[in-house]
Amino acid sequence: MTKTVRLGIIGLGAQGSMYAKFIKGGLVPNMVVTAIADIDPAKADIAAAEYPGARFFTDHLDLLDSGEVDAVVTCVPHYLHPQMGIDALSRDVHALVEKPAGVYTKQVDELNAFAASKPHLSFGIMFNQRNNPLYVRLKEIVDNGEIGNILRSNWIITNWWRPQGYYDQSAWRATWGGEGGGVLVNQAPHQLDLWQWICGVPQSVYSKVAYGFRRNIVVEDEVTALADFGNGVTGVFVTATHDLIGTDRFEILGDQGKIVVENSKTATVSRLRKPERELSESMDMGDVLKLFTGQLKTDEFYTQETIEFDSAWGGQHAGVLENFAANILDGTPLLAPGSDGIKGVRLANAIHLSSWTGREVSLDFDQDEFLAALNERIRAEGTFSERD
């Protein structure tokens, strides 16, 4: 592709530096870094040494007004994503926001509404796992009805082990006012997104959440949530940051098959030759005896396929950047439209609100009730300003 998108990176921390290196290294051929913003003036020397062709700013608004960029990516704390997205779009600059789209749905709703008023601009979110070929294939299998109607799904994702030193490295981390939560807003947003992307959006959720369970923090480090998808379909989501061994296992049970994913690398897809109820009703006592004695030949009832893809580190993120640039340049559909970001935020908010109130919470919850409960916790910290 001969055309390139001039990208501004807002926040030259771990994520922003990674994206800049991908682009500099040629992993995103349709994009070039032309500007960098960071509130830390010391980053200017780093930017000058690594990216001499990019202008440096200490204020993201100056970057947006500079005329140096066609688009930006927001690599900043979670609370800032929505407003920075609006700041960019209001200046006719395309916006790619980091995950999560925000901390609470009220602010993300404002971002989505503003983006909808600017349909000529590209608005995306960095859900790089949607570019994971394994999950892309599994979504195709589910959407094609190859395992029938989903009956139940469950994801145990506890391989986010973080020692206490991780939380102690900065005053804003693992706080309500600075970060907006714990594992649900920091480590697990990708899985919350993929769960809904593949299995559909739940109607309600009931949760049991522990705050500072095994770490000296005020936010959640242990979550168990039961989701109701309607029509008897349920789902369970378990995540934590204190499991040193860790598990990543995602199961989707359908009425004509099952998917089991291990470590987000390998999936076993079982397809029933007939719907499960038909198989059940066709069995006589002779078949039941064979079942009990291990003589039943399973290949008469279902086939199995193992799916595994090579997914080089960084390729997923670079692919989202390349896709975002392609959307700007020629209208290529976005892998992760920015408007989808609210789904994971809404589910995380509902899980928090359920644990705070002790009740099952609809995904169509009262946004003001959630924000009031969040601000109550921010006030108790006594460090950060309340949100509106």
Quickly list DSSP for 82-114.
HHHHHHHHTTT-EEEEPSSS-SSHHHHHHHHHH
pLDDT for position 242: 98
Level-2 CATH architecture, domain 5-126+314-337:
3-Layer(aba) Sandwich (3.40)
Confidence (pLDDT) at 42:
94
CATH 3.30.360.10 segments of the chain:
130-310+344-381
Strand pairing category for 5-10 and 71-74: parallel
Neighbour-count burial for 169-194, b at 16+ CB within 10 Å, e otherwise = eeeebbbbbbbbbbbbbbbbbbbbbb
| Tens digit of each residue's pLDDT (9 = 90 or more) over 42-84 | 999 999 999 999 999 999 999 999 999 999 999 999 999 999 9
Class of the CATH domain delimited by 130-310+344-381: alpha beta
Residue ranges of the chain whose pLDDT lies below 70: 1-2, 312-313
Specify whether the CB–CB gap between 79 and 103 falls below 8 A: yes
Total length of the chain:
388
pTM: 0.95
Q: 3-state DSSP helix/strand/coil percent for the chain, to nearest 5?
A: 40, 25, 40
Task: Tell me what pLDDT residue 40 has.
Answer: 96
Question: What are the phi and psi torsion angles at 98 (to 5°)?
Answer: -70, 165
Q: Cis peptide leading into 100, omega within 30 of 0?
A: yes
Task: Give me the torsion for CA of 65, 68, 72, 73, rounded to 10°.
Answer: -120
CATH 3.40.50.720 residue ranges of the chain are 5-126+314-337
Tens of pLDDT, residues 179-202: 999 999 999 999 999 999 999 999
Q: Kindly state the helix (H) or strand (E) to which residue 320 belongs, with its residue range.
A: helix 315-330
pLDDT of residue 1: 44
* Sequence-separated (6 or more) residues with CB below 8 Å from residue 168: none
